Amino acid sequence: MNPDQAYAELVRLSRDETVLASCLDVLDWDEEVCMPRGGVEHRAQQMALLAGLVHDRQTDPRYDDLLSTVEASSLVSDPESPQAVNVRELRRGFDRERRMPRKLVEESARVTALASQKWAEARKRDDVKIFVPWLDRIFALAREEADAVGYAETRYDALLDDYEPGMTTDRLSALFAHLQAQLLPLVDSLRGEPTPAPGHVLAREFPIDRQRLFAEGVAAALGFDLECGRFDIGQHPFCTSIGPGDVRVALRYYPRNFTRGFFALMHEVGHALYDQGLDPAHYGTPIGEAASLGLHESQSRLWENLVGRSHGFWRHFFPQLRSVFHEALHDVSLETFRGVINHVGPSILRVQADEVTYDVHIMIRFELERALLAGDLRGAELPGAWAELYQRYLGITPDNDRNGCLQDGHWSEGLIGYFPTYTLGNVYAAQLFDAAERAVGPLDESFAAGDFRPLRAWLGEHVYRHGQRYRVDAIIKRATGSAPDPSALIASLSRRYGSAR
Ligand code: ZN
């Protein structure tokens, strides 16, 4: 087979595998949005079988020969060409997958499907003991996975690399140390700052059907394409890309907590804009896919915080908001409203954390999951360790496990090494937003005019359209002029929330 034929065959294999894997995404979406509780055992079987089939495709021995043929040809001589990028990333994925025994892949899919239900049950009953044995099983499987795929320094590197290619535990620890040194003093200085306005404004009644209409209207104004996407009500907010032309966002609204539902929408729409901005012509190959979870998260955090909490954004949307929720907001000014939504204070729940304390929640999880993976911490010891770190860093202790170590479902789904990508997202978002403003001028003015195109176009040009053409570090460097660095995030938070604000 000549290199051109080999490359065409590689693309075909990669597309087929992606299409098959996207069936898992539909099942996942269905489980969150539609499936009755009684379907859980059957769904676990479906997921395990499909995960096994996807794994078979990913480890198809033909990949090795085809990749070798193309790797030795002139097709890959330009490292930025789709051919070279796809071959580089397919090789990386293939080498990782073929080291994973099929039994381990199926066992992980089966255990995590059941563990997620045990986690939900433990949370519902506030009884961590229901979940502890499953947590230990999941970390044991993660150790097996790390040992199977291999790593340079520590098992955590092997897991992290799956979400954030090229990132290492050492580099991440240094980044967190830098962030911690500057963030904790800022958190301390804001602690006890009086609420700038009556907090009860947001605890007023915001009817859910109107929240939904308002939020979906905002999403359309930001550029979410409703012809190629949809909104549903789910158990948790999430965004999933089923394929070109089908990007789905699930949300949940709360009648007396407007901000929780609304900022979740801003977050998920940020993810969706990235997915909708990928090049559909390259669907099913790495150059048509997002570069990393951290970069994906940078898009959600950018729209959620740097757009959704800005003055310009609410100058545009607040009059509309006030007329939709007249009873709740008729006596509230724009400035009062912004003061309330941007109030900083330690919170027990990550998903309700303000922008300043958010990364402290991630630091805590980064520390705990490394200890769990290393075997230095056992599942049964997690609640105590969790409470201790919340007290140390945020000065608060959860009053139960439901709001403590059971608050996030990530570990129950086998997502270990995933939490740090949230902080990487915040780091990249601050750098990208600064660079966009340097390039297109003050964004607050365009937001105030209801115009989000300049920002979206800049992100499309510098982030979306590249897919995996470059590794994340290179995407950030090319877009912003600097390597990933938390300084822009610290500067942005200090500027907007610090005492000199
Ligand atoms: Zn996200």
Q: What is the mean pLDDT of residues 134-151?
A: 97
pLDDT band for 457, please (50, 70, 90 cuts).
Answer: very high
- Does residue 196 register a pLDDT over 60? no
- In this predicted structure, what is the pLDDT of residue 106? 86
Q: What is the mean pLDDT of residues 458-481?
A: 97
- In this predicted structure, what is the pLDDT of residue 299? 98
What distance in Å separates the CA atoms of residue 269 and residue 300, rounded to the nearest whole number? 7
Q: Report the SS3 class of residue 126.
A: coil
Query: What separation in Å is there between the alpha carbon of 294 and the centre of ligand 1?
Result: 9
Q: What is the mean pLDDT of residues 352-369?
A: 95
Closest CA to 450 of 310, 339, 278: 310
Query: What separation in Å is there between the alpha carbon of 447 and the centre of ligand 1?
Result: 22
Q: Report the SS3 class of residue 193.
A: coil
Closest CA to 213 of 261, 245, 247: 261
In angstroms and rounded to an integer, the radius of gyration of the C-alpha atoms of the chain is 23
Q: What is the mean pLDDT of residues 144-148?
A: 97
- Does residue 458 register a pLDDT over 80? yes
- In this predicted structure, what is the pLDDT of residue 198? 56
- Name residue 233's beta-bridge partners: 251
- Name residue 231's beta-bridge partners: 249
Q: What is the mean pLDDT of residues 7-24?
A: 97
Q: What is the mean pLDDT of residues 172-198?
A: 83
Q: What is the mean pLDDT of residues 33-57?
A: 91
pLDDT band for 55, please (50, 70, 90 cuts).
Answer: confident
Query: What separation in Å is there between the alpha carbon of 270 and the centre of ligand 1?
Result: 8
Query: What separation in Å is there between the alpha carbon of 30 and the centre of ligand 1?
Result: 19
Compute CA distances 463 → 308, 314, 418, 437, whole Å. Answer: 20, 26, 21, 15
pLDDT band for 199, please (50, 70, 90 cuts).
Answer: low
Round the average pLDDT of the chain to a whole number and report it: 94
Phi and psi (nearest 5°) for 91?
-60, -45
pLDDT band for 141, please (50, 70, 90 cuts).
Answer: very high
Is the whole-model pTM more than 0.85?
yes
pLDDT band for 441, please (50, 70, 90 cuts).
Answer: very high
Closest CA to 156 of 367, 14, 469, 331: 367
- Percent over 90 (pLDDT), the chain: 88
Q: What is the mean pLDDT of residues 73-87?
A: 96
Q: Which has the higher per-residue pLDDT, 41 or 26?
A: 26
Strands 238-243 and 229-233: unpaired
Determine contact, residues 497/356, Cβ cutoff 8 Å.
Answer: yes
- Does residue 500 register a pLDDT over 50? no
Active site residues per annotation: 268
Q: What is the mean pLDDT of residues 127-156?
A: 97
- Does residue 164 register a pLDDT over 50? yes
Query: What separation in Å is there between the alpha carbon of 6 and the centre of ligand 1?
Result: 37
Query: What separation in Å is there between the alpha carbon of 414 and the centre of ligand 1?
Result: 17
What distance in Å separates the CA atoms of residue 10 and residue 2, rounded to the nearest whole number? 12
Query: What separation in Å is there between the alpha carbon of 268 and the centre of ligand 1?
Result: 6
Determine contact, residues 29/250, Cβ cutoff 8 Å.
Answer: yes
What distance in Å separates the CA atoms of residue 27 and residue 105, rounded to the nearest whole number? 17
